Structures are given as C-alpha cells and as structure tokens.
Chains A and B, each alone.
Chain A
Amino acid sequence: MEFNEIQTLIDQYLAKTLSLEERDRFERLLQQDEDVKKQYEDTLNMVDGIRYSESKKLLKKLQKLESEKPYVSQDTPSSARVIPLMKSGIAAAAVVALGILAYTFLMPKSIDFDSMYAQNYSPEPSEIVQRTVEDQEQLAQIKAVFSNHDSKQVYNAFYAFHNKKYKDAVNLFSNLISKENHPMFVFFLGQSHMGNQSYEAAQKTFDQYLSSGDVTYQESSIWYKGLILLKQKKEDELKKLWKDFVKKTCTNCIKAKEILNSLV
C-alpha cells in the first residue's frame, strides 16, 4: 500500500468515520502489516506531539498572565477585586464593543514590536536556586561552586532573581561582581536588568558577558540582546545580530528565525 493510502485510512480510523466492516479490516491490517503499524504509531505520536506542544504554549501564556497580576486573596471583598466581575450584560457588551473598537482603530496596523517582545520574553531560570526555601544542601552546593564568596550572599542574589525581585537582584549581583567578575553573575545581572526594564543596562551587561569568552550563556545572551532590540524597534540592528544565530538549531534560534520572518 502507498503512504498516502495508508495515511487516509489512519486518519479515517482516528476520526471514526470508517464503517464497522472497514474498521475491522483496518484493525486486521494493523496486526498483519508492519509498515501500516509503524505509520499508525508515528501518526499517534505526531498527534500527541501537537497536543503537547499546544498545551505547553497555552500553559506558558496563562503563566505569563498570572505573573503580570498581583496575588489573589481568598478574602478579598468583591468590590476590591483586581478585575471586577461584569455585573450586567450591558457592561460586558460595552467592554467587548470597546475592545473591538480599540482593536480596530487604535492598534497599529504595522508590526507590533511590544507584543512580539511580550510573547517571546521569559526569564531563563537559574540552576542555583530552584526552590523557594533556603536549605543547607543548596548553600553547600553554592559554596562548592563559588568558593570565593559568602554562600548566603550568592543565594540571596539568585533568590531575589528567582522571585522576580529584579531591583534587589541587580544590587546583589552587582555587589558579587565587584568582588569577582564571574560570567554567571554577569549573565544573571543582565537578566535582572532586563526584568527591571532597564534595557540599556541589560544590553551593556550582555555585551560584557559575551566578551568574557564564557560560552554557557552565549546563545541566551544573543537571544535576550535581540529581544531588547526588538523592544526598541531597532529592526536593522536585530537582523544583523541574529544573522548567524538563526542558522543554529537551538529552540531560541528557531524562535528568532520566526521573529525575523515576521518582520519581513
């Protein structure tokens, strides 16, 4: 059987559009023909892969929404809610109508750099502090990696970054760098500046990291530098920076390629 013929049968079987007789015949074929079986399994994996990918995208989107809103209290009175609930159909209709109007008339028709930035920016987590509680095991690990530093100070810097307290993280990483110009500190200082929306300082810090010769965060630094240029609407500089980057196969490189393609 030809590939296309088998695929049609598989799709019909999955969509449950085969008659009972056809279904029985296909199930027998599945047991007898190795090629059909392989193509069927590949299709199931592909469908799961698509669901996996879409689920991850959606979850990421929701997590981003969550990170942009203050913590919810279960005791908050309804009048003090962050997003007041719609009390009437008229109000809801008005909001939808305003939304449509705003979308139609106020949104720029050209490239929305801010939105592209927001969709693509998410901080790269550190491997140093992954949990939100301090414990002796983590401090011991920090001590082993950064023997020249007070483990508690290193922990505090990564802890602040991990908890999105970027202003604190900038100060703490700057203090650490004043003692030792460790590339990891420099990279996370760059990220902290970025989280703090100090884009020029972030750019300079990523440049500092890239000139250090360390390669651990090289691709990430190029990615973030590019995102800053995107935010600043510096299209030509961005294209120049990512010219070679998009030829690589890393996840961010693929995303970068998509961004550049959408700028054309």
Chain B
Amino acid sequence: MSSEQELLILLQQGNQQAFNETYYRFREEFVSWSGKQYSISNEDALDLYQACFMIFFQNLSKNNFEMRSTIKTYLFGIGKNKIRELKRVQYKQIKNKVLFLSDYKDVVIEDWGEKEDLLQLMERGLQMIDEKCRSLLTRYYYQGQSMEEIASDMEYKNSATTKNMKYKCVQKLRKLIAPVQ
C-alpha cells in the first residue's frame, strides 16, 4: 500500500493531522501554478485552492467514492475546471457561494441566494436535534452510507432498527422547523 493510499484512508477516517498535512502539502504549488499558468492572483488562488480542496474532501467523504488518480492530479484537475469556469464568471464571488459539488466532472458552484434563509433554518434545526440523529442523517443523506453500515458504525441492533431511527429523526427535524416555515 503506497503512502498516498494510507493518507487517503486516514483522511476518510477523519484524521485531523492528515487533513492539515494534505491541505498544506499542495497549497503553495497550487497557488504558484495558477499564478504562472492562468495569471490568477495569490488571494484568488488561495480561495480557489480552498474550493478545490472542499470538492476533493467532500467527494472523498462519500461512501462510494473511488480515487483513481493521485491527490495532486485530482486537486489540480478540479483546479483547471474551476479556473475555466471562474474565468467565465466573476470568481471573486466564490466566498459568498456554497459549493454543492457532487461529482468531479460536474463541478458547479451553486448560489444559495434565495434559499439561504431556509437552509439556515435547516441548519439550526440540525443543531437542535440530538447528536445521534444528526450523525445518522448526515451519514445517510450526505455521506451515502447504507443502513447496514450505519447500524454497524453507530452500534444499532440491525438495519431495520436504524431505518426506524432514521424515520424518527426525519420527523423530529420536520417538527422542529415546521412552525417557522
């Protein structure tokens, strides 16, 4: 197993040290490359690097994700796509946009604009439900874990129990935000 594969495993396990190390490892080279190749300023290049790293990490956190290149190739690949995209739009606006990035080839920056109030409400609701529910919903809807995997990770009796628990959590969240909506 190569060192990079080990690093990827640590990243997927949520290891903070591996996260920091990976972030810093390619940061300066990325900034230098985007400046020299595409005349992007330091400040914008750092924003761009953060956006690329977010895509990389979010994809890596997904259950069915398979890394088919080195981290550097992946990050710089996203970088190239984003630079092309950002050349078309004003990339200075990147800080005010949320990144809903599901796929390496389908890199989009979605403006949360009108929906932001609703999303903030959801976020508050998520903060108010208990940690177990929050974790369960995040694992299922964000990380794409199966009921069996969640049951095993969160020590539920079986997938049926986990599924029931998920229904309860969804209802809990709906009740919390329903009076406000």
Q: Is the CB of A63 within 8 A of B17?
A: no
Residues of A within 8 A of B28 (CB): 72, 76, 81-83, 85
The complex places the Cα of A104 from the Cα of B106 at a distance, in Å, of 38
Q: Is the CB of A96 within 8 A of B25?
A: no
**Counting chain B CB atoms within 10 Å of each CB, which of A61, A74, A81 scores highest?**
A74
Task: Indicate if A237 sits at the interface (CB-CB under 8 A).
Answer: no
Q: Which of B20, B123, B163, B170 contacts A52 (CB 8 A)?
A: B123
Task: Indicate if A263 sits at the interface (CB-CB under 8 A).
Answer: no
Q: Which of B2, B15, B26, B115 contacts A48 (CB 8 A)?
A: B115
Q: Is the CB of B54 within 8 A of A58?
A: yes
Residues of A within 8 A of B112 (CB): 52
Main secondary structure of the interface of A (DSSP, over half): helix
The complex places the Cα of A57 from the Cα of B36 at a distance, in Å, of 31
A50-B142, A96-B10, A103-B15 known; A72 vs B27 contact (CB < 8 Å): yes
Closest to B115 in A: A48
Task: Indicate if A92 sits at the interface (CB-CB under 8 A).
Answer: yes
Closest to A38 in B: B174
26 contacts across the A-B interface (CB closer than 8 A)? A3-B167, A46-B170, A50-B137, A51-B100, A52-B120, A53-B123, A55-B99, A56-B123, A62-B53, A66-B50, A69-B24, A72-B42, A78-B29, A81-B28, A82-B28, A83-B21, A85-B26, A85-B29, A89-B2, A89-B4, A92-B7, A96-B7, A96-B10, A99-B10, A99-B17, A254-B128
Residues of B within 8 A of A7 (CB): 167, 170
Q: Which of B1-58 contact A (CB under 8 A)?
A: 2-4, 6-7, 10, 15-21, 23-29, 31-32, 35-36, 42, 45-46, 50, 53-54, 57-58
Rounded to whole Å, the gap between the CB of B130 and the closest CB of chain A is 10
Closest to B124 in A: A251
Rounded to whole Å, the gap between the CB of B12 and the closest CB of chain A is 14
Q: How many residues of B contact A (CB 8 A)?
A: 60
- Provide the B157-181 mask, 1 if CB < 8 A to any CB of A, else 0: 0000001100100110110000000
The 3 A-B pairs at the shortest CB distance, nearest first, are namely A49-B122, A74-B35, A93-B3
Task: Indicate if A215 sits at the interface (CB-CB under 8 A).
Answer: no
Task: Indicate if A42 sits at the interface (CB-CB under 8 A).
Answer: yes
The complex places the Cα of A65 from the Cα of B49 at a distance, in Å, of 12
Rounded to whole Å, the gap between the CB of B117 and the closest CB of chain A is 11
Q: Is the CB of A71 within 8 A of B42?
A: yes
Q: Which of A53, A99, A102 contacts B122 (CB 8 A)?
A: A53
Q: How many residues of A contact B (CB 8 A)?
A: 53
Q: Which of B94-132 contact A (CB under 8 A)?
A: 98-100, 112, 115, 118-128, 131
Closest to A47 in B: B141
The complex places the Cα of A58 from the Cα of B55 at a distance, in Å, of 10
Binding site for B on A (CB under 8 A): 3-4, 7-8, 42-43, 45-56, 58-59, 61-63, 65-66, 69, 71-76, 78, 81-83, 85-86, 89, 92-93, 95-96, 99-100, 102-103, 115, 249, 251, 254, 258, 261
The complex places the Cα of A251 from the Cα of B32 at a distance, in Å, of 38
Rounded to whole Å, the gap between the CB of A163 and the closest CB of chain B is 14
Q: Is the CB of B138 within 8 A of A50?
A: yes
The complex places the Cα of A45 from the Cα of B115 at a distance, in Å, of 9
Q: Is the CB of B24 within 8 A of A74?
A: no
